[in-house]
Structure 1
Amino acid sequence: MKLATEEQIQGHTAASRRGAAEGTLVAGTIATLGSIYSHRRWAYYRNLPPSLKVLGVLIITAPALSIQAERRGLEYDRSQWEGDGVRILDMQEHQEMSRWETLSTSDKIADWASRHEYSLIVGGWALSLAVAGGIISRDKYQTTAQKVVQARMWAQGLTIGIILAAAGLKTGHNKGESASRVRHDSVILRPTMSKVLRFL
């Protein structure tokens, strides 16, 4: 196993910092513009305390910062691989692409969902919060605090539904893989069993 040199460590750190800056800039800009638009568009958002508005921007910016930093670090690591490591990675990518091409549409959806499970859950939570907030904001008889609580409760309920659906899809996908593995094993074992029975 080859140890990383000081130059490679510094390069990885620089790539991760560049990714963190990119994630912060893009996500921070989008979140800030969204906050400004919401402040101008909806009275209930204007009435929220500034700390909650800042928290909303941070909730969007912080994950983007860490994700982009990790992506840039992994890209740098990949650029440093050479020889057999690159060949093995290329072979694994080719095998994965071949497997993907043989899957049916429903299996592709299940496979994609299982690999992006957390993104779907967080995205579903954010979407359900936005939709619930938009619907509840029309109620003239509730205070801003009541509307925020109602929107949060609806988002939590819908997120639990998304988590249960994801668990069901994952269980079904795993059962399908187990069944195909059992069929494959039974094809291998059938000649062996027939030989054993003949011997007995």
Structure 2
Amino acid sequence: MKVISKEEEREHYNEVLKGGLIGGGVGLALGLGGVLYGSKRYAAFRQLTLPFRSFIVTSSGTFGAIVWAERYSVKYQRSHDPMNNYLNAQHQAQELARQQAKTESEKLMDWGRENRYSIVFTSWIASMGLALAMVGKNKYLSTAQKLVQARVYAQGLTLAVLIATAAFETADAKSGKGRWETVMVLDPNDPEHKKLIEKRVHKEEYEGQDLWKDMVAAEEKRLADQKKQREQLDKQASKAPAA
């Protein structure tokens, strides 16, 4: 466990406070703008109680403050953790080669797989807003009926997204993704670093989980190179003519 100083603790607190203020301000602005627009545009929205509309504004600000404070906290911790920036040249080249070998559709699928739960939440929010806009035009429904009907529409779209997410989960379980993946990496025996070979690698559950493995591999490679250099020097010394 790393022991932080009072100065680092104060800097971290200031960064978290800064992120919270920025996120809270943006969230409040978006929430207030959304409420004002909804009140002006939709009659059903104007029938909502003032406490409920106030809750929408304040919850938007709270959500923004929490998210951005967390981001600034993680960013500060990563920037002050020397282990986080440890990546040898071979690892960087392998990651670059893997990304370049993927097609655009594969990159899109990977993005959807990694952000599946965020997509579910965002789709529910978006579908709820879209459904409210659609049913808000119906003059023959009460506010309660419009909310119920909008929720049904939103649940239908969210269910479709959940089914797609379940398909991702099933595919990952069958292929072993999420734990181990077969990827294309640079051949360590290729001096030009152009040849790609298949390698089964462990997918980290959190960033830096397998960092120690990279450090051990890099140290072993350094020791092996030193040993090889010593052997070459010994051979050259043995072949040199005696003075």
Q: Sequence identity of aligned pairs in percent?
A: 28
Q: Deviation per CA, 1:61-89: give whole Å up to 9, x if none.
A: 3332211111111111122123x542239
TM-score scaled by length of structure 2: 0.66
- Which residue does the alignment assign to 2:78? 78
Kept in 2: contact 1:24–1:65 (CA 8 A)? yes
Aligned mates of 1:26, 1:124 — CA distance in 2: 21
- Which residue does the alignment assign to 1:8? 8
Kept in 2: contact 1:121–1:159 (CA 8 A)? yes
- Which residue does the alignment assign to 2:65? 65
- Structure 1 alignment gaps of length 5 or more: 186-200
Task: Pick closer, same or farther for the CA change 1:97–1:176 going to 2, 3 Å.
Answer: farther
Per-residue deviation at 1:174? 5.2
Per-residue deviation at 1:162? 0.8
Number of corresponding residues: 184
Aligned mates of 1:49, 1:92 — CA distance in 2: 57
**Aligned ranges 1:104-183 → 2 under 5 Å:** 104-173=103-172, 175-176=174-175, 181=182
Task: Pick closer, same or farther for the CA change 1:68–1:180 going to 2, 3 Å.
Answer: closer
Aligned to 2:4, what secondary structure does the other structure show?
coil
Task: Pick closer, same or farther for the CA change 1:62–1:97 going to 2, 3 Å.
Answer: farther
- Which residue does the alignment assign to 1:55? 55
Kept in 2: contact 1:12–1:73 (CA 8 A)? yes
Aligned to 1:86, what secondary structure does the other structure show?
coil
Amino acid at match of 1:118: Y
Q: Deviation per CA, 1:135-161: give whole Å up to 9, x if none.
A: 111111110111011112221222122
- Which residue does the alignment assign to 1:25? 25
TM-score scaled by length of structure 1: 0.79
Aligned to 1:81, what secondary structure does the other structure show?
coil
Aligned mates of 1:65, 1:91 — CA distance in 2: 39
Considering Cα pairs closer than 8 Å and 6+ residues apart, tell me whether 1 or 2 has the greater RCO. Answer: 1
Amino acid at match of 1:51: P
Aligned mates of 2:162, 2:88 — CA distance in 1: 32
- Which residue does the alignment assign to 2:43? 43
Aligned mates of 2:36, 2:77 — CA distance in 1: 38
Larger radius of gyration: 2
Amino acid at match of 2:85: V
Instruction: Considering fraction of residues, name the structure with more strand.
Output: 2
Q: Deviation per CA, 1:77-109: give whole Å up to 9, x if none.
A: 122123x54223997666544422222222211
Aligned mates of 2:157, 2:78 — CA distance in 1: 39
Amino acid at match of 1:161: A
- Which residue does the alignment assign to 2:238? none
Aligned mates of 1:99, 1:66 — CA distance in 2: 34
Aligned mates of 2:51, 2:117 — CA distance in 1: 27
Aligned mates of 1:28, 1:53 — CA distance in 2: 12
